[in-house]
Chains A and B, each alone.
Chain A
Amino acid sequence: MQFMLLFSRQGKLRLQKWYVPLSDKEKKKITRELVQTVLARKPKMCSFLEWRDLKIVYKRYASLYFCCAIEDQDNELITLEIIHRYVELLDKYFGSVCELDIIFNFEKAYFILDEFLLGGEAQETSKKNVLKAIEQADLLQEDTKEAETPRSVLEEIGLT
């Protein structure tokens, strides 16, 4: 996979993951063009289209478009499954995920994606394992935060 974009029906970007090195300007240009192309497609059209020298696989879930750019030798149908798996992960994590969840917790959406895909390929094929890893990492985040507060208070009153 070369990149994945999530955008709303109005064309607002909600997530962008790039697995190829491109300048900011190029990324913006690609995003703008691709968003326009995908939004122009009618509902009866198939989920695949050819764009530049890439294959684009996209699927709409409620108000969000999930759009991946894959290479010639990649399997389009399994990419649809990859997209679906990601949505399932988000759904499990947020509990019936909606666009607002992704807007307000975009960093979490990235963390989840980074536990599922690495360098554009799936690193874990078990839903359970991905969610477990995220859970553990979240706990680690909580732990360190908790560990902070007591210490600083004690420091403040000069008792450590």
Chain B
Amino acid sequence: MPAPIRLRELIRTIRTARTQAEEREMIQKECAAIRSSFREEDNTYRCRNVAKLLYMHMLGYPAHFGQLECLKLIASQKFTDKRIGYLGAMLLLDERQDVHLLMTNCIKNDLNHSTQYVQGLALCTLGCMGSSEMCRDLAGEVEKLLKTSNSYLRKKAALCAVHVIRKVPELMEMFLPATKNLLSEKNHGVLHTSVVLLTEMCERSPDMLAHFRKLVPQLVRILKNLIMSGYSPEHDVSGISDPFLQVRILRLLRILGKGDDDSSEAMNDILAQVATNTETSKNVGNAILYETVLTIMDIKSESGLRVLAINILGRFLLNNDKNIRYVALTSLLKTVQTDHNAVQRHRSTIVDCLKDLDVSIKRLRAMELSFALVNGNNIRGMMKELLYFLDSCDPEFKADCASGVFLAAEKYAPSKRWHIDTIMRVLTTAGSYVRDDSVPNLIQLITNSVEMHAYTVQRLYKALLDDISQQPLVQVASWCIGEYGDLLLSGQCEEEEPIQVTEDEVLDVLEGLLVSNLSTPVTRGYSLTAIMKLSTRFSSVNRIKKVVSIYGSSIDVELQQRAVEYNALFKKYDHMRPALLERMPIMEKTASNGPTEIVQTNGETEPSVVEPKHPPPVNQPASQGNDLLDLLGGNDVPVIQTTMPTKPASAGGELLDLLGDLSLGGPAPAPAPPAPASQPPFLLDGLSSQPLFNDIAAAGEAAYNKNGLKIDFTFERANPNPNVAVITIHASNSTEADMTDFVFQAAVPKTFQLQLLSPSSNVVPALNQGTVTQVIRVLNQQKQQLRMRIKLTYTHKGSAVQDLAEVNNFPPQSWQ
């Protein structure tokens, strides 16, 4: 058989291939030749063949059939073979394969080889890809070599030890004795790897850390020598002596000095020296300065040193080299919390970075830093820069920037008008990137700025005239026009020239939103509700009635439902309409978490408006909608919430039954339950036509357990309001068929408020394969004993099932 072609030959040939297919053909041919050569157990050419295989592997072709051959090469006595064999092992084998374990013996022998270059190969391979088992077996050999006087081997053994420790942390102890005089070495290679080893040990074990603290003086001395010594050609890089070693020592000092006064003091001088004496004209000097700054910030350094560090970072920000600027911004971000004032001094430089033409990551860091530096004094100037940044930054950062602007504006706004203007600016320039939760937050903000209502609605209206594509802007604007449309008409604006606008023009704009392709369903909902609200503020009631009735047959189910309800409002309950559509009260935030918190009202005695301030209307499941219903708090109207399928008539009817009870105020009109007189009447009574009491469940047992459906209650307290009990129901189904269209409804006595969040699912899987959970929040301000009436509906084996039950024995902790 002819000699296999040489490696270079193969490379040349493969590079002549003009297509992928041609290359693949060549490779396959060669692989076949190599395979037969392997089969022949040819020692002479094994090395050459494996080398070729490694080349093909790099091109992306499979080479696993060469794994065993690598092992044979490693076992060979020829250095050439070993070199390629170990390389192949590092490239083709990894610790997942069992094959690599066969290497252990070879490596062991080679670690004790007479030639240091062979020993080196073994150490390198072990330190690169040794598995935990291999490390365990060979740790002793490595430890031996760590104590050798041969610096060539000692440095490799140190890094190999690092790998062993990473793989088998328990073995760390055994290397401790060998570290004793590592730092007395003169050889830089050994010094460098020793410092790496010490760093690894200190990072992993607080005991080791305490033990090695005594090395601080020695490390300081070594560092000092590096800085003070003259030109050393062997380790010189642009006039700096062994920057790699300097950086590693600084890093180890950081770990040793952290949280320790004595060590930190001992290294204070040298850090100051490095910080002031290091050449900054090239990257290498800056690399050392960077590490120095990180160390200064992490240890217990005196304030003068810290200021020095921050100033270095400030200088970095002015450096022409973008890499240096990047590193500075990242570091400043880490320190801005602890050294706020020092960083503030560099604020203008940081803000300039926002305008950097360069990469988005840097501008993002500059933005984060800028937000961290905003305070009451600089808010106006900073906001100008940040808004300018918002205009020009990458789309992927606009959402974060917008949120940051809103937060900063909320915290530091110098005036309400400025605040509203800032919000307007964000909505009009980056309106489509604003986060969903901003819309309710902004609405809340606007309601609170009572004196700015006229100005706000005017500006929003004008913005709508320009552009209706940005949904958050459109939603906020619709809501405001719905609420404050009368102010718009009356031209009451003080802050700027009031605009002249007619009712029809306003209604045109709102109707335009309804029909526009640009509007999302959510926006349409806002718009329809706004139109409805205007029926009590404008005189064009007929026009509004017409619009509402048209949408009663809209394909969009959401719109349809709303329209039908509003229609009903016109027809049957017109006497209630003014009260229902009144101005919203000022909403106070109990926590800054957003709309799903229960919102306290300020004690309105009239029934507050029933309409949603968030897209989903009363009878929709989205949790944001529930917020609204808490506004009914003044009357303690219990809420029935369901994930109902839309049947407008009954849905509307159900809602209005509630309202009917509201205005009548007395006991329920429907057949009263056989309830003991002491209990306050349940307003759910109108729904029931069956005996209302089934099992009175004691909480602690299943609250409800019938026909295979079991419902458990679990309780916890809500933060921050201790009067709110958070109850989670867990529904499980032990029958063999799924329960679909599962709906859980609950009602509580008048003195409580109830909020039902969305269920996890509408299907309770059969045979207890999973549970449906749903969260109920109950506000129990009068600390009365909690009682609950529940209604369950679901479809099981094709037929609809409905059941009612009362849950009475809630544990005292849940309501006290």
A residues with a Cβ closer than 8 A to B are 13-16, 18-19, 21-23, 28, 41, 44-50, 73, 75-78, 80-82, 85, 103-104, 106-107, 110-111, 114-115, 118-119, 121-129, 133, 136-137, 140-141, 143-145, 148
> In whole angstroms, how far apart are the Cα atoms of A135 and B123 in the complex?
19
**Please, could you name 14 A-B residue pairs with CB atoms under 8 Å apart, sorted by A?**
A21-B96, A46-B362, A49-B361, A85-B237, A118-B193, A119-B160, A123-B155, A125-B235, A128-B234, A133-B120, A137-B117, A140-B117, A141-B80, A141-B83
Neighbouring B residues of A44 by C-beta, 8 Å: 322, 357-359
For the complex, what is the distance from the CA of A128 to the CA of B287, rounded to whole Å?
Answer: 22
Contact present for B84 and A125 (CB under 8 Å): no
Measured in the bound complex, the distance between the Cα atoms of B163 and A50 in whole Å is 25
* B287 nearest CB neighbor, chain A only: A77
- Report yes or no: B124 in contact with A125, Cβ–Cβ below 8 A: no
Quick check: B193 and A75 within 8 Å, CB to CB?
no
Question: Is there contact, CB below 8 Å, between A114 and B124?
Answer: yes
Residues of A with C-beta under 8 A to B79: 137, 140-141, 143-144
| A128 and B235 alpha carbons, distance in the complex (Å) | 9
Query: Within the assembled complex, what's the spacing in Å between the Cα atoms of A137 and B115?
Result: 10
Q: Is the CB of B196 within 8 A of A81?
A: no
Whether a CB of chain A sits under 8 angstroms from the CB of B805 is: no
Q: Give the residues from 231 to 250 in chain B that come closer than 8 angstroms, CB to CB, to chain A.
A: 234-235, 237, 242-245, 247
Asked if A19 and B358 sit within 8 Å, CB to CB, the answer is no
Given known contacts A118-B159, A119-B128, A125-B189, is B55 in contact with A81 (CB within 8 Å)? no
B550-578, CB under 8 A of A: which get 1 and which 0?
A: 00000000000000000000000000000
Residues of B within 8 Å of A49, CB to CB, are 359, 361
Q: In the complex where A123-B159, A125-B235, A133-B152 touch, is A75 in contact with B290 (Cβ < 8 A)? A: yes
Docked-complex contact B123 and A118, CB < 8 angstroms = yes
Q: B60 an interface residue at 8 Å Cβ cutoff? A: yes
Q: Are A81 and B193 in contact (CB under 8 A)?
A: no
B95 is an interface residue with CB less than 8 A from chain A: yes
Residues of A within 8 A of B83 (CB): 107, 111, 137, 141
B273-297 to A contact mask, C-beta < 8 Å, 1/0: 0000000000110110011001000
Mask: chain B, 161-194; 1 = CB below 8 Å from A; 0 = not: 0110000000000000000000000001100110
Of B323-331, B338-346, B444-452, B592-600, the one touching chain A: B323-331
Q: Is the Cβ of B189 less than 8 Å from the Cβ of A123?
A: yes
Are A107 and B51 CB-contacts (below 8 A) given A77-B290, A77-B323? yes
Distance of B767 from chain A, by nearest CB (Å): 38
B677 located at the interface, meaning its Cβ lies under 8 Å from any Cβ of chain A in the complex: no
Q: Once bound together, how far apart are the Cα atoms of A14 and B550, in whole Å?
A: 68
B32 on the interface (CB 8 Å rule)?
Answer: no
A76 adjacent to B327 (CB under 8 Å): yes
Interface residues of B in 75-131 (CB under 8 A from A): 78-80, 83-84, 87, 91, 94-96, 115, 117, 120, 123-124, 127-129, 131
B11 in contact (CB, < 8 A): yes
Asked if A46 contacts B244 (CB within 8 A), the reply is: no
Which of A78, A118, A126, A143 gathers the greatest number of chain B CB atoms within 10 Å?
A118
**What residue in chain B is nearest A55 (Cβ atoms)?**
B330
Q: Is the interface of B mostly helix, strand, loop or mixed?
A: helix
The 4 closest A-B pairs by CB, nearest first: A77-B287, A45-B359, A46-B322, A124-B189
* Contact residues in A for B326 (Cβ distance below 8 Å): 46, 48
Q: How many Å lie between the Cα of A127 and that of B287 in the bound state?
A: 19
- Give B residues with C-beta under 8 Å from A: 7-8, 11-12, 15, 51, 54-55, 58-60, 78-80, 83-84, 87, 91, 94-96, 115, 117, 120, 123-124, 127-129, 131, 152, 155-156, 159-160, 162-163, 188-189, 192-193, 196, 234-235, 237, 242-245, 247, 251, 283-284, 286-287, 290-291, 294, 322-327, 357-359, 361-362
Q: How far is the CB of A147 from chain B (nearest CB, A)?
A: 9
B156 touches A123 (CB 8 A): yes
**In the bound complex, do residue A77 and residue B283 qualify as a contact, i.e. CB atoms below 8 Å apart?**
yes
In the complex, chain B residues whose CB is within 8 Å of the CB of A136:
117
Bound-complex Cα distance A22 to B128 (A): 12
List chain A residues, Cβ under 8 A from B60: 13, 28
If A119-B128, A121-B193 are given as contacts, then 15 extra A-B residue pairs at C-beta distance below 8 Å, sorted by A number, are A16-B58, A46-B322, A48-B327, A78-B243, A82-B244, A118-B124, A118-B159, A118-B193, A119-B127, A123-B156, A123-B192, A126-B188, A129-B234, A141-B83, A148-B78
Output the nearest chain A residue to B88 by Cβ-Cβ distance. A107
Q: Return the chain A residue nearest B255 by Cβ.
A: A73
Q: A123-B156, A123-B193 are in contact. Are A50 and B361 (CB under 8 A)?
A: yes
A38 to chain B, nearest CB (A): 13
Q: Which residues of A contact B358 (CB under 8 A)?
A: 44-46
Query: Is there an interface contact between A78 and B287, defined as CB atoms closer than 8 Å?
Result: yes
Which chain A residue has the least Cβ–Cβ distance from B159? A118
- B159 and A75 contacting across the interface, CB-CB below 8 Å: no
- Give the residues in chain B near A127, CB-CB below 8 Å: 234
A122 adjacent to B94 (CB under 8 Å): no
Asked whether A77 and B327 contact (CB < 8 A) given A122-B244, A123-B156, A133-B152, the answer is: yes
Asked if B156 and A144 sit within 8 Å, CB to CB, the answer is no
> Do the beta carbons of B129 and A21 come within 8 Å of each other?
yes
Most chain B beta carbons < 10 A, residue from A23, A85, A106, A123: A123
Q: A46-B322, A125-B235, A144-B79 are in contact. Are A110 and B58 (CB under 8 A)?
A: no
Give the CA-CA distance A58 to B450 in the complex, in Å. Answer: 55
**In contact, A129 and B189 (Cβ under 8 angstroms):** yes
Provide the residues of chain A in CB contact with B128, threshold 8 Å.
19, 114, 118-119
Residues of B close to A14: CB separation below 8 A: 58
* Nearest residue, chain B, Cβ from A50: B361
Query: Complex: how many Å from CA A157 to CA B567?
Result: 113
Contact A81-B244, Cβ < 8 Å, known A46-B362, A137-B117: yes
A143 (CB) vs chain B CBs: closest residue: B79
Using A111-B83, A121-B193 as known contacts, say yes or no to A46 and B323 having CB atoms under 8 A apart.
Answer: yes
Could you tell me the distance between the alpha carbons of A20 and B541 in the complex, rounded to whole angstroms? 73
B54: chain A residues at CB < 8 Å are: 106-107
Residue pair A75, B359 in contact (C-beta under 8 Å): no
**In the complex, which residues of chain B have a beta carbon less than 8 angstroms from the beta carbon of A119?**
127-128, 159-160, 162-163
Q: CA of A13 to CA of B54 in the docked complex: distance in angstroms?
A: 13
Distance in angstroms from B631 CB to nearest chain A CB is 45
**Given A77-B290, A78-B247, A81-B284, A46–B189 Cβ distance below 8 Å?**
no
- Report Cα–Cα, A104/B55, bound state, in Å: 9
Return B428 CB to nearest CB of chain A, in Å: 30
In the bound assembly, the distance between CA atoms of A78 and B251 in angstroms comes to: 12
Q: Given A21-B96, A126-B188, is A81 in contact with B156 using a C-beta cutoff of 8 Å?
A: no
Determine whether the beta carbon of B287 is less than 8 Å from that of A75: yes
Task: Provide the bound-state CA to CA distance between A75 and B162, in Å.
Answer: 19
Residues of B within 8 A of A103 (CB): 11, 15
Shortest CB-to-CB span from A37 to chain B, Å, is: 12
Report chain B residues within 8 Å CB of A110. 87
Bound CA–CA A85/B283 (angstroms): 13
**Beta-carbon nearest neighbor of B290 in chain A:** A77
Bound-complex Cα distance A31 to B456 (A): 53
Q: Tell me if B8 and A104 are in contact (CB < 8 A).
A: yes
